[in-house]
Amino acid sequence: MEFKNYLFTEQKEYFADRVNAVLTGVHEFLQAKNQMPAKHMLRNGEDIANQIRKILHTSWPRSEHKYLKVLQKCGVALMKSIEDKGDMLDVINSVRSELEKLTQKLKVPVNKLGTGEEEAPRRPEPSPPGSQEETPQPIPPPTPPAMPHQ
């Protein structure tokens, strides 16, 4: 693998990880929305907007700039709903859908969990009946010595 390709792939995965972190925060917000008071909802919304702001202020290659515009749109809409005391839940839901579309466009898996096919130990295939190899018979446990009668 060429070093230039490695750097490009590494930056793309890092960008996708940052976007996925924001998406995770949005999902956690939506799961806990019924248990949160209004003040706490505002604080969590600001935290999500700050995460987006940190991504936007990081230097990214030109190939990622089209994705930054989507993030900027989401961050502005979220902050505007907080400042105008608008319906933040509708905005959060639209931010969630935009971020999910963005992660699909990035074509980097959200997590790196495998299917288990590569990691599963291979079992030896059973030999067909009548083959030369026989399985060893289990050794019976030793019997205790007989006690003499008195």
Q: Domain of 25?
A: 3-106
How many domains does one find in the chain? 1
Give the residue-averaged pLDDT of 16-42.
88
Cα angle vertex 24, ends 78, 18, to 5°?
A: 85
Task: Evaluate whether residue 138 is within a structural domain.
Answer: no
Q: Which residue has the higher pLDDT, 43 or 63?
A: 43
123 within some domain: no
Mean pLDDT of the chain: 77
Q: Is residue 143 part of a domain?
A: no
Residue 60 phi/psi, 5° resolution? -125, 155
Residue 144 lies in a domain: no
CATH number at residue 32: 1.20.120
Which has the higher per-residue pLDDT, 11 or 102?
102
Is residue 116 in some structural domain? no
Q: Could you read off the pLDDT of 72-115 as tens digits, one per residue? A: 999 999 999 988 887 888 999 999 999 989 888 887 665 554 44
